[in-house]
Structure 1
């Protein structure tokens, strides 16, 4: 079955690829959804609704604290008054006027044991490994995946909860991971936070936690799993994952129990299609998933609509503009984004009325 997409909005945005690839969005709904884009040594914050209304100026701009550091996943407060940056040796909060609010020091993500530091905070040590951070939806907490240990000795990765006002540590969870990178997903219930840790060829670890003001309650869903955390939706109790190599997508209850599973329908025995890591909930009823990386035929449909509860494939997406080669970034409100790298256009789609 073919499902026709209908163009809702389109805007020229040269940096718009970052809104489709990676972890650029925070908040929900056009009024509060923040789009985070890196531009040189600055982190620019946009309001998605304003972008499609023609207002292409950022609502806030934050200087990146470490000019040589371009890794880590950063976060911006709901009111865009401060940003929190995940550095190689610290988590740092910066106000909208560029002033440092606080800093939480931690061990170095550089992989060499006992490697020295010159004392220059702009020094970037060898390696691509990094952590991530996420400000809670109420702006009160900062969740951060960090390294602890002195100069690489007795290191251990930890998940920490920080007070957003001054950066002091409220709770710490030791982790059994050796990350290449990580990202957070905030649950729309405003209580739970998910942490997905990528360890390269060693697989994926996935944790959930909540902080009730006094105690950190956490659990992992890693037994027998090797899955990337993709998305959550306020209309459903669970969360969506994709298998490390794209064999299937699964819907899980919050405790990790598998509620549904769906495999790609395209490809053949010699060249089976695989789901990409991008995709998620169009709304509480539908999911969009992509096989861009594994569908080598440019004329083949590469985006697929799945039932959000059963993960059965409803059909492939047909675009009136022709095949779309980018990932799809669903927004949870019935629309999704794609990016046309040839003309620098960010497009917003919905399904056409049947």
Structure 2
């Protein structure tokens, strides 16, 4: 079955196809408009995504990168848009929109090339910053990655835990209840970890998913379940907070019959377009990313509904926004889509 996508808007962004890294990223918060973060030289700019695709001025704030060129970082911005937090491998730094450094927390001295494996995120109330700093490696030992909760206005460490992982990348995922924070950690060929945490009486409580080969992908808008991706061929739904397996869907089951030894796989773990619909990207080893299929899935049953069809050629990834829309990119253009209302 084919489900035609209706265009919502389009906008130009340099290197649009690189949404999962710099120079741009999308920040989704439940119940609030999505925001666009763009790296423009030594500046980080924050935009209202809805306005970015419309005729109104979209700029919310501009923040100067606190570190010199060549220092890799990830960034997050406070809910009210007045503070930007930059997270490198060994430090977290908060700056105001006027350019002043509000605070800086230094981690361990890694004594190794900066590779940008850390991650940070504000809580929905703006009171705290959650940050992951990678652990130190040297002389045959590893200290473990560190998960921190810092006061957003001062940088004071409220609580910290050492995680049993060695990240090559990580991403925070706020839970809709505003109390829990998810953290997905990738270890390259060594696997992946899913962590959940919350503050209890000023202490960080952390628990991990039992399966160390799943990537945390999204959380349902009602907060009662979350989505993981087990590369290359399975996405799964789990209860929250327990993590019990609810259902799985393999790429082969979603793709349908194939010829010969052609094997389908999920090119990305997908996410929620809305409470009832997951959108995931699939392809096969015999094809190229240009032949990827964007498959709509009933989030309540795990049943594929059909393939998205676009009015112009679309390749590569799809980025769900949980508000009924999603993004795709071609060259330097980002497109926004929705399912037509019947």
For the Cα contact (< 8 Å) 1:129–1:179, is it kept in 2?
no
Aligned length: 335
Cα distance per residue 1:284-325 (max 9 Å; x no partner) = 000000025757267856100001122221111111213x10
Query: Equivalences for 1:1-354 in 2 at 5 Å?
Result: 1-14=1-14, 16-19=16-19, 24-28=25-29, 32-55=33-56, 58-108=59-109, 110=110, 115=111, 125-126=112-113, 128=115, 130-147=117-134, 155-221=143-209, 223-243=210-230, 245-254=231-240, 255-264=242-251, 265-266=254-255, 267-268=258-259, 270-277=261-268, 279-292=270-283, 294=285, 296=287, 300=291, 302-322=293-313, 324-341=314-331, 344-354=332-342
Greater strand share, 1 or 2?
Answer: 2
- Segments of structure 1 that go 5 or more residues without pairing to the other structure are 116-124
Cα distance per residue 1:181-218 (max 9 Å; x no partner) = 21111111111100111111111011001114423222
TM-score, normalised via structure 1 length: 0.86
Say which SS state the counterpart of residue 183 (structure 2) adopts: strand
145-154 or 5-14: bigger deviation:
145-154
Cα RMSD, aligned residues only: 2.6
User: Kindly tell me: are residues 55 and 335 of structure 1, through their superposed partners in 2, closer, same or farther at Cα, counting changes over 3 Å?
Assistant: same
332-341 or 280-289: bigger deviation:
332-341
TM-score, normalised via structure 2 length: 0.89
- Segments of structure 2 that go 5 or more residues without pairing to the other structure are none
For the Cα contact (< 8 Å) 1:160–1:172, is it kept in 2?
yes
Say which SS state the counterpart of residue 219 (structure 1) adopts: strand
